Amino acid sequence: MILLIDADITCYQSTSSAENEIEWDPDTWTVDTHIPAAKDHFNWLLSEYQKLTGIKEYKLCFSDRHNFRKDIYPQYKGNRKGRKPVGYSAVKEWAMGEYPHFSKPGLEGDDCMGILATKFPGKTLLVSMDKDLKTIPGKFFRLSPEGKHEMLEISDKDAEWNFLMQSLTGDTSDGYPGLPGVGPKKAEELLKKHGAVWKTVEDAYVKAGLTKEDALLQGRLARILRTENWDSEKEEIKPWTP
């Protein structure tokens, strides 16, 4: 078993912890960082993941600078206006040189985790805070900022259900809307009444005056890539198709 670690979050937490605010005078403040402290925190987090899961081997999964979802939907994550912590790029570059990692052109870290998890079923454990990884079948150690971590076993059926739900509800944190007016309760009602299949999603969009193409776009935004969606030889995405 190998840990597939959401290294974007790990790097963010590490560099955030090392930031310092300095007040030069009441009207002048700056923010600086201490990179060795950020690296130490990064290493500490890795050791914590190992300790909590009992698994020593790991691979870091980082997002690429380019994000293919922005190519198909420019508003994707457009609502995130905050900056990354000081030193983020430097610590990311250091970690990629120091540890085994997986990062591919155009992919988010979640996609890297999904590709590896479905390529080696039963041999990986995902480590992340991100609920989107509930759309990937397999073992998922979901981190909690409050320390209430969960060890989850996501079945194929559960993963598909979670994906269909997200295609209907969208994700405000990632900036895509799903089907307007449909929240978790309504989405659950639709899937229970008409079946947890893609046709239910398509029909809901069409009934609302939208199109199957609109549904497909939202599905592709919600879909964490799996091994069948990645051409490893050409290093190209094979868009998800129902």
Domain 2-237 has CATH 3.40.50.1010: yes
Pairing of strands 2-6, 124-128: parallel
How many percent of the chain have pLDDT more than 90? 93
**Tokens 């597939």 found at:** 4
Round to whole Å and give the CA distance between 106 and 225.
12
pLDDT of residue 230 exceeding 80: yes
pLDDT of res. 81: 75
Round to whole Å and give the CA distance between 134 and 166.
10
pLDDT of res. 111: 97
DSSP state of 197: S
> Reduced to 3 states, what is the DSSP secondary structure of residue 127?
strand
What is the mean predicted confidence (pLDDT) over 182-207? 97
pLDDT of res. 227: 97
Torsion angle, alpha carbons of 61, 67, 68, 71, to 10: 170
pLDDT of residue 47 exceeding 80: yes
- Beta strand segments in the chain, E: 2-6, 19-25, 28-33, 58-61, 101-102, 124-128, 138-142, 150-154, 230-231, 236-237
For 124-135, what is each residue's pLDDT tens digit? 999 999 999 999
Round to whole Å and give the CA distance between 122 and 77.
31
Instruction: Tell me the two tokens of residue 155.
Output: 């079945």
Round to whole Å and give the CA distance between 239 and 74.
17
Please give the model's pTM, rounded to 2 decimal places: 0.93
What is the average pLDDT value for the chain, to the nearest integer? 95
Number of C-beta neighbours around residue 61 at 10 A: 30
C-beta separation of 4 from 71 below 8 A: no
